[in-house]
Amino acid sequence: MSETITYRVSGMSCGHCEKAVSAEIGALPGVTDVSATADTGLVTVVTETPVTDDAIRTAVDEAGYELVDRA
């Protein structure tokens, strides 16, 4: 069963930011879709299997941004 979780991410300001965050999170095992929106700072993640918040946080950090919390 899929799960959809939305996170607040700080530091995104453009399409490049959205792509960087989406690519890092999208590479995690179990993630099937990622939608990042710089205007709102929200990132919606759809997973087939559970993915921990820590894994998401690490991916966001790798992209150069900061995961604030769940929205």
Q: What is the pLDDT of residues 19-69, one digit of tens each?
A: 999 999 999 999 999 999 999 999 999 999 999 999 999 999 999 999 999
DSSP state of 48: S
Q: What is the pLDDT of residues 25-37, one digit of tens each?
A: 999 999 999 999 9
CATH code for the domain of 10: 3.30.70.100
pTM over 0.85: yes
- Three-state SS annotation for 9-38: EECCCCHHHHHHHHHHHHCCCCEEEEEEEC
How open is the CA angle 58-53-45, to the nearest 5 degrees? 95
Domain that holds residue 37: 3-70
Domain total of the chain: 1
Q: What is the mean pLDDT of residues 8-19?
A: 98
